[in-house]
Amino acid sequence: MFALVDCNEFYVSCERAFQNKLKGLPVVVLSNNDGCIISRSAEAKALGIKMGEPYFKVKPLLTQHEVRVFSSNYVLYGDMSRRVMHYLSSVVPDVEIYSIDEAFLDLRGMERYHGCLAKYATDIKQEIYRRTHIPTCVGIGPTKTLAKLANRITKKNPALGGICYLDTGAKRQWALEQVAVEDVWGIGRQYATKLHDAGICTAAALAQCSESWVRKHLGGVVGARLVRELQGFPCHAFQPCEDGATPERQSIACTRTFGKPLSTFADLLGAVGAFASRAAEKLRRQGSAVNTMTVFISKNKYGTEPPPYTFSTVVALPVATDDTSDLLRYARIALKRIWQPSSVYIKAGVVLAGLETAGQQQLGLFSTSNKGEARARLLQELDQLNQRFGAGTVRFATASIPKGKQSVPWLGNADFKSGAYTTNWDELWAL
DNA sequence: TCTGGGGTCCTAGGACCC
DNA sequence: TCTGGGGTCCTAGGACCC
């Protein structure tokens, strides 16, 4: 059996954990740049506020109902997530962190120690709440997909008390019949349309589809696995990670929409340089080196201009590196290739792919290991300073930005940001 | 004229997830 | 004025190899 622990309305719950007065009130959290709604309390959902809606469009509705609005505060959410995951890792041997607010638990063979798994899950749920004030729901089933499905059912049926355990064939059948096909894990918009056109409208109907039909219409092996999982045969590997540690990534990206449109090469280089620096930090944190970098810049796709909106270029690095100054150098070269004068851009990004284990990459023909060691120490210092005193405290000159928010041309809006209650002494939460 | 039958590697693009 | 960001996996098709 596998369990999926899912934090309810995670970002909203993080804000509520530090502001008790928000409980029972409609609350929403906005995406970066205060662009879209990305988390809604139940009260906000009830007002008809949809996921992903642009903030400026729903602003009147939010004002009318006195909805509390927050800019996203990823430092806070990341730290709260770490606390939840760390606790889970301390009570269950094998935990797979699936996203910032979800984890799969491997409960195979655990009845022996804990008796009924529903009771065990209830204890875990209550302890998470006691420690963090984050409410959760737990779905338990023989496959990850069924655990997901069970989790969804708890959210729709408050009477279940946040726990749904699909321990018998009858319960599984019942559960499959409850869930619309578009709400199955792995069924997105495209597949949902196809399925409805074929008269397949529930998870139960999907579970009965023939493998050949599914292979033909739902992405080949992906669809075949999905159906098998619904039938109770595990096809998705369980991938536990060490004590709440974040899993190693195969690609690392840093992309942002600017606070205002930019057009000069200098402004764009400032943004791309900062993104490359940030990506390099993430790279070093997981001990990787990169051999392929993509840089892109985008125009506004909502305007009257015809496509294309995004211009990107890929740089194959001669030698895999984790050095910020290397990435800054190539980022500048890449930007030169795609930037056009008198164009207006609203977004840029740096994506690192082709990640290798650092230190094991091939030495360049003319590089010397002494230089490498000194360099590595410097970068380590840089990362530690930035971690301790805040991102961007120490930077490379090319990624440098003048002091003061107003002079950082690419910085996005965050007009409603709560404090770094748990990670910054100056903003420490107090009663 | 006939124009095999494997492989591998890479990339672009599509679909999905939170 | 104002429309997020960061991931995963799979497939098809081309280039190239023997």
Query: Distance between terminal CA atoms of chain A?
Result: 41
B16 C1' to A57 CA distance, Å: 27
Q: Which residue is nearest to nucleotide C2 (CA to C1')?
A: A56
| Distance, CA of A230 to CA of A203 (rounded, Å) | 8
For the cut 70, the answer to whether the pLDDT of residue A404 exceeds it is: no
Q: What is the pLDDT of residues A321-350, one digit of tens each?
A: 999 999 999 999 999 999 999 999 999 999
| DSSP, res A323 | -
DSSP secondary-structure letter at A414? Answer: -
Q: Distance in angstroms, CA of A197 to C1' of C5?
A: 32
* Contact by Cβ (8 Å): A206, A231: no
CB atoms within 10 A of CB A329: 16
- Would you state the pLDDT for residue A424? 85
CA–CA gap between residue A3 and residue A5 (Å, rounded): 6
Please answer whether residues A314 and A268 qualify as being in contact, where contact means their C-beta atoms are separated by less than 8 angstroms: no
What is residue A344's predicted lDDT score, i.e. its pLDDT? 95
Residue A178 has pLDDT above 60, yes or no: yes
Instruction: Enter the pTM of the model.
Output: 0.92
CA–C1' gap, A247 and C8, in angstroms: 13
CB A121 within 8 A of CB A138: yes
pLDDT digits (tens, 9 = 90+) for A53-81: 999 999 999 999 999 999 999 999 999 99
Are A72 and A38 spatial neighbours (Cβ–Cβ below 8 Å)? Answer: yes
Residues 115-154 of A with CB under 7 A from strand B: 148
Spatial distance from the CA of A216 to the C1' of C12 (Å):
14
pLDDT score of A402 more than 80 = no
What is the DSSP code string of A167-187?
A: -SHHHHHHHHHHSBGGGSTT-
Under 8 Å between Cβ of A8 and A135 = yes
Contacts of A184 (CB under 8 A, 6+ apart): A145, A149, A203, A206, A226, A230
A208-262: pLDDT as tens digits? 999 999 999 999 999 999 999 999 999 999 999 988 888 899 999 999 999 999 9
Alpha-carbon distance A31 to A74, whole Å?
A: 10
* Residues within a 7 A CB radius of strand C: A 31-33, 35-36, 38, 52, 54-56, 219-222, 249-257, 261, 282, 300, 302, 346-347, 349, 412
Amino acid type, A259: G
Band (pLDDT 50/70/90 cuts) for residue A399 is: low
Q: What is the pLDDT of residue A21?
A: 96
Could you identify the residue whose CA is nearest to the C1' atom of nucleotide C8? A250
| Residue A313: exposure state from Cβ atoms within 10 A (0-12, 13-18, ≥19) | middle
pLDDT of residue A358: 83
Contact between residue A394 and residue A382 where contact means Cβ atoms under 8 Å apart: yes
- Give the SS3 label for residue A50: coil
Query: Which positions of chain B lie under 7 Å from any protein Cβ?
Result: 11-12, 14-18
Could you tell me if A410 and A349 are in contact, meaning their C-beta atoms sit under 8 angstroms apart? no
CA A163 / C1′ C4 distance in Å:
31
Domains along the sequence of chain A with CATH: 7-75 (3.40.1170.60), 77-230 (3.30.70.270), 252-399 (3.30.1490.100)
- Where does the pLDDT of residue A304 fall: very low under 50, low under 70, confident under 90, or very high at 90 and above? confident
CA nearest to A313, candidates A345, A298, A335, A341: A335
Q: Tell which residue, A319, A318, A329, A304, has the closest CA to residue A398.
A: A329
CA of A293 to C1' of C7 (A): 16
Separation between the CA of A250 and the C1’ of B9 (whole angstroms): 18
Measured in whole angstroms, how far is the alpha carbon of residue A393 from the centre of its chain?
Answer: 25
From the CB of residue A355, how many other CB atoms can be counted at a distance below 10 Å?
A: 21
Give the tens place of pLDDT for each residue, A83-122. Answer: 999 999 999 999 999 999 999 999 999 989 988 999 999 9
Decide which of A377 and A308 is more confident: A308
Q: Could you give the C-alpha distances from A123 to A9, A17, A91, A141, A255, in angstroms and in order?
A: 20, 20, 11, 18, 40
